[in-house]
């Protein structure tokens, strides 16, 4: 070993010991004859003093040290001079009085400082990710992620789960997201796909009698990126046999509570996790991933709004649309600037517009509302009576701002749920130490796709229809709810699972609703259906996003921050410069010809 002690370890109790440390020159303070170095390794910082009276040659060499040089230093741990202690550092009571210095490697001046305080462009950070990761914050995130996966291994092992690896090269199944594909050299014109998730494989493992499976599994999707989406992400994938929905939920709830308690000191988490049906969640929050840390629930005000003289409302209703809204507490005094921004925000979510009605705080109550208390661009179309009724329906109080969106149900919900989250941010209603988990369950199995003019799986095709809804499977698929459940935390989807179909006939009927032909079914899912005919146990499980979990635990917005080597929004790795062309020889070997898009 190049060192016998880590930089962060020396304390007053170890004063007098002779140690050797190794690490990076974090900062240099050169006083001419007296030179200070903050030496950094993964454990922290240690102040090192080069004093010519004790270390002539080392001191001379120290004059040449620069940021990020790698050095090995031998010396004696000494107590700092009285008044020279640094309470900011765990090692701040002591310092290393140097007797020997070895320069292990030199460094160019780094493109940016190794400091948490500095805000560097993402492209630069990723290009020099190996330096970016030296920053204490990034080191912390790497370790947090490790702790989380370690707890998953420990906990699930204790519950009788075994970790099984499934292949990365599998078969392309075009439903769901776009596949990443890998050409086959041995089979010209044929391709593997990278798994979007190990779904079918883990179900086969249930048929194999594994009973309790988990995997920290990499999943690949060739879709556009977001702050919370990367081309490859990691899931805690788990599956259990002989279980009902509650059994899966109980395991996950226990694990996630443990993880939050252990990794975020001072966190609050409510148990048992509250549960909402999909229908209730859509009704109250306009989304299937509600943030329960604050109120501002949505209300449907279609009839009342349409009864006003506002033609925008009437038009939307006569074309079958919906009008919904919520009250933003204390925002009744918003000026033009603020409301303009909200309108802009609503439009960026797809709204045609946003109607707001401000109620002045001087109103004694909603019942006592007078014309002077109301401010709205639609004011001349809104009688005091209508505003009163709207306020009552939306739970608005004097001083509040009512935000109203009209349009198709889907659009209204998208806009309002985004707006609700935005208002919570503006009003600072969210606390990062608060982990508000919620189970959303009873999802519909299918949803109608207007573009394709057919039923599509709402989540995935392997979820079991609820027993009492089986009767609608062929007659009214939209009515069929499934034993499908999502885990949501603070407005982010943390994972999704279901009790699976384990019966060949039911699975075939579900495929039939989506419109797969028998040939397509046997081509894509033959192996699973065949397995179902050999004694498949009832089973269910979940896929839980690891990146999102770690990001939520760390209070990070983008999962890029918790992935060691992520890609940019255009799916590029600036460090390796991937993707990249391959040689003509490689193409030939793979039987592939490239056709560039016309520009």
Q: Where are the beta strands (DSSP E) in 331-390?
A: 355-359, 374-375
Give 481's Cβ-side CA count (13 Å radius). Answer: 10
CB neighbours of residue 30 within 10 Å: 13
Q: How far is the CB of 485 from RNA (least distance, A)?
A: 10
Cα 101 from Cα 28, distance rounded (Å): 14
Nearest approach, Cβ of residue 16 and RNA (Å)? 16
User: Which tokens belong to 567?
Assistant: 């890609």
- Report 432-461 residues binding RNA (CB under 7 A): 443, 458-459
What is the C-alpha to C-alpha distance for residues 451 and 448, in angstroms, rounded to an integer?
9
- Please, which of residues 246-305 interact with RNA by CB under 7 A? 288
Contacting RNA within 363-402 (CB under 7 A): none
Interface with RNA (CB under 7 A), residue from 84, 315, 364, 368: 84
Look at residues 263, 8, 237 and name the one whose alpha carbon lies nearest to residue 145. 263
CA dihedral for 382, 416, 427, 284, sign (positive or negative): positive
Of these, 16, 56, 100, 111, which contacts RNA (CB under 7 A)? 111
| Rounded CA separation 411/415 (Å) | 6
> Which residues are 405's β-sheet partners?
324
Interaction of residue 40 with RNA, rule CB under 7 A: no
Print the binding letters for residues 464-503 with RNA: x by CB under 7 A, - otherwise: ----------------------x------x--x-------
Q: Which of residues 528-557 bind RNA (CB under 7 A)?
A: 543, 545, 557
Residues 206-235 that bind RNA (CB under 7 A): 219, 221, 223-227, 229
| Rounded Cα gap, residues 38 and 91, in angstroms | 11
Contact residues for 61 (Cβ-Cβ < 8 A; gap 6+): 101, 103
Q: Within 560-589, which residues bind RNA (CB under 7 A)? A: 560, 568-570, 572, 574
- Residues 164 to 193: which contact RNA by CB under 7 A? 176-178
Number of residues in contact with RNA, rule: CB under 7 A?
A: 72
Residues 6+ apart with CB under 8 A from 152: 214, 216, 236, 255, 259
Residues 63, 68, 72, 78: is their CA dihedral positive or negative? Answer: positive
Q: Which residues, numbered 134-163, are part of the site for RNA (CB under 7 A)?
A: none
Segment lying near RNA (by CB under 7 A), choices 118-126, 156-164, 306-314, 361-369: 118-126
Min separation Cβ 445 and RNA, Å? 11
Q: Please report how close the Cβ of residue 460 comes to RNA at its closest, in angstroms.
A: 7
- CA-to-CA distance for 596 and 512, rounded, in angstroms? 38
Closer residue to RNA in complex, CB, 106/150: 106
Asked if residues 275 and 441 have their Cβ atoms less than 8 Å apart, the reply is: yes
Stretch that binds RNA, among 78-86, 359-367, 399-407, 471-479 (CB under 7 A): 78-86
Query: Among residues 6, 67, 173, 300, which is the contact residue for RNA, using CB under 7 A?
Result: 67
Does 92 help bind RNA (rule: CB under 7 A)? yes
Provide the 8-state DSSP code for 110. Answer: P
30 touches RNA by CB under 7 A: yes
Closer of 193 and 374 to RNA (Cβ)? 193
In angstroms, the first-to-last Cα distance of the chain is 57
Q: Name the residue nearer to RNA (CB basis): 114 or 205.
A: 114
Backbone angles phi, psi at 180, to 5 degrees: -85, 135
Q: Classify 114 as helix, strand or coil.
A: coil
Residues 315-374 that bind RNA (CB under 7 A): 348-350
Q: Return the residue of 9, 15, 20, 27 that touches RNA, per CB under 7 A.
A: 27
Q: Which of 41, 95, 237, 442 is in the footprint of RNA by CB under 7 A?
A: 95
Among 1, 81, 594, 595, binds RNA (CB under 7 A): 81
């Amino acid at each position: 070993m190049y060192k016998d002690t880590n930089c962060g370890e020396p304390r007053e109790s170890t004063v007098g010991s002779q140690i050797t440390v190794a690490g990076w020159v974090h900062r240099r303070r050169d006083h001419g004859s007296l030179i200070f170095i903050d030496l950094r390794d993964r454990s922290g910082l240690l102040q090192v003093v080069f004093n010519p009276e004790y270390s002539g040659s080392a001191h001379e060499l120290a004059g040449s040290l620069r940021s990020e040089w790698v050095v090995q230093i031998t010396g004696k741990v000494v107590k700092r001079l009285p008044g020279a202690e640094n309470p900011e550092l765990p090692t701040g009571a002591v310092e290393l009085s140097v007797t020997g210095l070895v320069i292990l490697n030199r460094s160019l001046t780094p493109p940016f400082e190794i400091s948490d305080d500095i805000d560097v462009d993402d492209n630069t950070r990723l290009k020099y990710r190996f330096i970016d990761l030296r920053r204490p914050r990034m080191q912390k995130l790497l370790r947090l992620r490790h702790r989380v996966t370690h707890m998953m291994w420990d906990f699930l092992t204790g519950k009788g789960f075994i970790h099984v690896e499934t292949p990365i090269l599998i078969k392309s199944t075009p439903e769901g997201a776009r596949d990443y594909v890998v050409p086959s050299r041995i089979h010209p014109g044929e391709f593997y796909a990278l798994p979007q998730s190990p779904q079918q494989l883990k179900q086969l493992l249930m048929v194999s009698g594994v009973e309790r499976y988990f995997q920290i599994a990499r999943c690949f999707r060739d879709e556009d990126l977001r702050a919370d989406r990367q081309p490859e992400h990691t899931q805690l994938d788990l599956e259990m046999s002989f279980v009902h929905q509650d059994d899966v939920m109980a395991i996950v709830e226990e694990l996630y509570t443990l993880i939050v308690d252990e990794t975020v000191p001072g966190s609050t988490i409510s148990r048992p996790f509250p549960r909402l049906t999909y229908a209730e969640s859509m009704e109250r929050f306009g989304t299937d991933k509600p943030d329960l840390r604050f109120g501002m629930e949505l209300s449907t005000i279609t009839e009342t709004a349409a009864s006003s003289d506002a033609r925008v409302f009437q038009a939307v209703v006569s074309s079958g649309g919906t009008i919904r809204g919520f009250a933003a507490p204390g925002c009744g005094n918003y000026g033009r600037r603020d409301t303009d921004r909200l309108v802009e925000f609503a439009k960026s979510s797809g709204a045609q517009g946003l109607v707001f009605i401000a109620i002045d705080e001087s109103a004694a109550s909603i019942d006592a509302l007078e014309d002077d208390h109301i401010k709205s661009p639609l004011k001349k179309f809104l009688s005091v009576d209508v505003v009163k009724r709207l306020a009552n329906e939306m739970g608005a109080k004097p001083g509040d701002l009512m935000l109203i969106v009209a349009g198709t149900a889907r659009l209204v919900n998208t806009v309002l749920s985004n707006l609700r989250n935005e208002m919570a941010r503006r009003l600072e209603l969210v606390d990062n130490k608060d982990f508000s988990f919620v189970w959303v369950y009873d999802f519909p199995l299918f949803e109608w796709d207007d573009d394709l003019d057919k039923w599509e799986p709402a989540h995935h095709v392997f979820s079991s229809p609820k027993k009492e809804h089986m009767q609608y499977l062929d007659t009214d698929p939209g009515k069929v709810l499934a034993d499908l459940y999502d885990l949501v935390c603070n407005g982010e989807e943390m994972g999704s699972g279901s009790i699976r179909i384990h019966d060949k006939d039911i699975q075939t009927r579900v495929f039939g609703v989506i419109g797969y032909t028998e040939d397509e079914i046997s081509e894509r899912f033959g192996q699973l259906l065949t397995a179902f005919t050999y004694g498949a146990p009832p089973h269910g499980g979940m896929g839980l996003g690891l990146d999102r979990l770690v990001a939520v635990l760390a209070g990070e917005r983008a999962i890029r921050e918790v992935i060691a080597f992520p890609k940019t929004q255009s799916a590029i790795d600036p460090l390796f410069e991937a993707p990249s062309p391959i040689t003509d020889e490689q193409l030939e070997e793979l039987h592939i010809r490239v056709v560039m898009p016309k520009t």
